[in-house]
Amino acid sequence: MSLPRHPSYDLVVVGSGPTGSAYVREVYDRHPTARILLLDAGPRLTDPPGTHVKNIADSAERARAQRASEGPGPAGRPGTRLLEAPDLPAAALSTNVGGMGAHWTGACPRPGGGERIGFIPDAEMDAHLSRAEQLLRVDAHAFDHAPFADEVRRRLAALFDAGRPPHRRVAPMPLAVTTRSDGAHTWSGTDVILGRAAADERVDIADRCLCLRVVLDGDTATGIVVRDLATGEERRVSARAVVIAADALRTPQLLHASGVRPPALGRYLNDQPQIVYAVRLPDDVVAAHRAVTGRTRDEDGAIVAQSGVSWVPYTDAHPFHGQVMQLDASPVPLADGTDVEPGAIVGLGWFCAKDISPDDRVEFTDTAADARGLPALRIHYRYSDRDLAAIEQAKEAVAEAGAAVGIPLDDSPLLLPAGSSLHYQGTTRMGPADDGTSVCDSHSRVWNTRGLWVAGNNVIPTATACNPTLTSVALAVRGARALLAHLDSTAERSTPAAQAGVGTA
């Protein structure tokens, strides 16, 4: 469908990625009569909607789905388009039902130390993280049998584990993936988060449907204005609650277009500098593995469809997040022409926590529009002196980790262009008080605007190094609790469900 079927809903969610879908699922599960609209400016790629593209078996179909997600403009990595922002040259976005949840790596580490949000009690946040892991079907052991995974972790643990608490030691990376009975894997997209909600008549999913602005009645959000991108037709849709979950760049853009402009809007833009390095395991380790398993390289190539992924957690003493991936089981020729045992090539990626500044921001103008008529944006972003120092420390740390694992294949660690992580955060950050440094409260409610929530990595207020999706879904779970209370508090009004004879809230 394109334009929504009904003129009014209990809840409208703009943006169908992991956090928007988490709001839908939580309200669907806990409010048995709520009518919900989930809309996205991009197309449906799959049936059911929101399926991860890795689960599309046919390579040509998978490539078509990725191209359909990119939209106009130069392509970034598959499924995304580059913004061509000089200060953040690798910045890229996807536009499709499921958002980046259709393309992400599935890494779901829990934040630790300074990555945690100090004004949310630990017990509450841990409960939200556990619920997020359920919604995403997180499994830390899906690839435990990947070649050499144990050996890689043993070597990393010998370097990093001393003095760490058990839950912050080297471990398999928690991944949003399900192991099937045949041993194959299904990656979690937003179809997994939505569950039965995606096929229920109480939930409408509108694709190719652009939200132009939030409708306000004084200080209360009462709905949205949408445009069918196929026909150009526009319509106003009423709602008792609105969630904007359109990513860290388009969420503040939409608030700006709606006249919701708290001082922190678009500020505190936070990416994660990313350093990469590659090594190969020593020949004696490979030979010992072959002797024990009896496998040849070709057999491994047939058996192992995905490499092992290991995790070096962030700590305040080691303020980097390490994501260690053994290359997929395909032949990798070395410079001398020697083929490498699958799993013996190890890629190390170290992510830094950015020095957060209000000057790093996405800025909007009322005098120019983008291709879809929303306020044009410009990104301002730079590395501070502390960032540059942290990047050098991360290069030293990843080189040390590489030396512990094996034989370097790169001359030195490489800093990827700014924006490469795709982990953009902070532009509608939450805070404990409305003091001008945040856009929403700890339950993601926009300050001074009743009935309006924001969602996504953009609400994370801390300097994180770990992959942010699990944290942002946990914050969506937290926000949904407050949203449900809002729906209950407005139950005395005539609801869309009641008007349609479905029931009362």
Residue 97 burial by CB count (10 A; 0-12/13-18/19+): exposed, middle or buried?
buried
Count CB-CB contacts under 10 A for residue 445.
Answer: 21
SS3 of residue 319 by DSSP: coil
Would you call 26 exposed, middle or buried from its count of C-beta atoms within 10 A (0-12, 13-18, 19+)? buried
Joined tokens for residue 278: 């590659």
Q: Quote the CA–CA distance of 486 and 451 in Å, as a whole number.
A: 7
- Residue 23 has which token pair? 């709001």
Give yes or no: 423 in active site.
yes
The answer to whether 101 touches 190, Cβ cutoff 8 Å, is: yes
Q: How many helices (H) and strands (E) does the chain have?
A: 11, 21
> Is 445 strand, coil or helix?
strand
CA angle in degrees (0–180, nearest 5) for 63-70-16: 100
- Quick one: tokens of 21? 């879908």
DSSP state of 430: B
Distance (Å) of CA 2 to CA 145, 198, 372: 44, 15, 16
One-letter amino acid of 373: G
164 phi/psi in degrees, rounded to 5:
-90, 145
Catalytically annotated residue among 31, 256, 423, 486: 423
Integer Rg of the chain from CA: 23
**What kind and span of H or E run contains 65?**
helix 59-70
Nearest by Cα to 456 from 471, 470, 472: 472
Q: For residues 469 and 190, is the Cβ–Cβ distance under 8 A?
A: no
Q: How far from each other are the two terminal CA atoms of the chain, in whole angstroms?
A: 26
Sign of CA dihedral 218, 221, 223, 227: positive
- Which residues form the catalytic set? 423
